[in-house]
Copies of this chain bind each other. A is one copy, B any other.
Amino acid sequence: MSPGRSYHHGDLRAALIEASFELLAECGLRRFSVAEVARRLGVSSAAPYRHFADRRQLLSAVSTAAARDLRTAIEAAADAAGDDPAARLAASAGAYVRYVARTGAGIQVIYAAELYDVADDARREQTRALMTTMLDLAGAAGARTYPEVVLLVEATIAVAHGYTSLFADGFFARNSIPVDDIAARAVEAAGALISH
């Protein structure tokens, strides 16, 4: 962007993370590969390893950014939904569907089993903050005890993730149904769970 350095991107590290999002959105975690990310950026397959020790470290950085951005999107959606606590929590389901459809980085990436034992404090902090945001929304929405709060968060995530996953897998004839329609259905379904 700024400095016309010796070769491309003044910041390959950031470019790798950005391109990883695009690859995930197109192909899913299933066919994600460091080599393909490098190819898309026009750098050699060795270049990423100057910035990330291995594949998992790159994915961990993506997970960190995704947790941060998803949390921001959820908070914005909750605020846009107004003051009703149930509507605010339900709105998080819509934000999840839209964010993951756009970026390809949802729960499967953010909390990927593959990353379970990767030491990365930044990621820990962001995933924790994301969960805290959800727990706060659920707490405000009427769940009383902590276990109830957790169950409500899990149900909301499950319905949002379910719609997202079906959408990503082409179950909805992807071309014919806009993502905003799917997001609206997820909000409605989440609302039904919350008021139940």
Contacts and interface: CB of A to CB of B under 8 A. Distances in A.
Contact of A169 (B113, B188, B189): B113
A158 B151 contact: no
Interface residues of A, number: 33
Identical chains bound together, number: 2
Interface in A108-167: 108, 111-113, 116, 151, 154-155, 157-163, 165-166
A50 interface: no
- The A interface, classified by DSSP as helix, strand, loop or mixed, is helix
Given A158-B163, A158-B186, A161-B165, 13 more contacts: A30-B30, A108-B169, A111-B169, A111-B170, A113-B169, A154-B172, A155-B185, A157-B162, A158-B189, A160-B162, A162-B162, A165-B165, A192-B192
Interface of A: 29-30, 107-108, 111-113, 116, 151, 154-155, 157-163, 165-166, 169-172, 185-186, 188-189, 191-193, 195-196
